[in-house]
Amino acid sequence: MDEASKVPVQPRGALAWVGQVVLYGLFALFIGVFSHWPSYRHLAPDTALVKLSLVHAGKPVSDCRTLSAEELAKLPPNMRVATSCPRERSPVTVELDIDGRNAARAEAHPSGLSRDGSSAVYHRLPVPAGERLIQVRLRDDVRSPGFAYTLERRVKLAPAQVLVIDFNAEKGGITLQ
């Protein structure tokens, strides 16, 4: 069969070999360059990052109440408990001021179908590095109008530093780390 009329199935000639070297080189260059470059700056220079992140279960939305004798009688004998407490918890409200200005406010609702789980907040706030006044307020009870937990502290933030504002009841409430 005549092969001359075929498109070459294999490269022929010096030009084809040079072309291969060039194209393989471009392939390597493409992979090598975009595997490392351009560099990505995630945070502006002289900026720190404040992470307002907490998980906290709010107080029940209402007080427990004592059941009447009639109500108790309606219950099965094994479920006759004198008091009934609501499952639903209060939403958790957090406010963050930096240098006296409000930087974040979040109202987190309880998780779960019965709204009886904990509330979660996660915010990331880039702030200029330097000395900052941090004020945090947290409310976790709809029955009480004020903030149950507060924290005010002056901190010195280095560039690229991460400051985490969390909540830990065992450590007294709002924490900075």
Tally of CA atoms within 13 A in the half-sphere of 166 that contains its CB: 9
Helix (H, G, I), strand (E, B) or coil at 72: helix
Contact region with other proteins (CB under 8 A), list: 49-57, 59-67, 72-80, 139-147 = 49-57
Which strand (E) or helix (H) includes residue 96? strand 92-98
Q: Which amino acid is at 43?
A: L
Residue (of 118, 115, 57, 113) closest to 86 by Cα position: 115
Q: Does 171 bind other proteins (CB under 8 A)?
A: no
Among 42, 101, 154, 171, binds other proteins (CB under 8 A): 42
For residue 154, state whether it binds other proteins (rule: CB under 8 A): no
Q: How far is the CB of 93 from other proteins (least distance, A)?
A: 17
| Cα–Cα dist 60/62, whole Å | 5
Pick the closer one to other proteins by CB: 1 or 69.
1
The C-alpha angle with vertex 9 and arms to 6 and 13, in degrees rounded to 5, equals: 95
Residue 19 is a binding residue for other proteins (CB under 8 A): yes
Least Cα distance to 122 among 42, 50, 40, 14 occurs for 50
Where in 71-110 is the site for other proteins (CB under 8 A)? none
CA contacts within 13 A on the Cβ side of 75: 14
- 59 vs 109, which CB is nearer to other proteins? 109
Q: Does 113 contact other proteins by CB under 8 A?
A: no
Query: Among residues 72, 103, 115, 117, which is the contact residue for other proteins, using CB under 8 A?
Result: 117
The binding site for other proteins (CB under 8 A) comprises: 1-2, 4-12, 16, 19-20, 23-25, 27-28, 30-32, 34-43, 45, 48-49, 51, 53, 55, 111-112, 117-118, 120, 122, 124, 159-162, 164, 166, 177
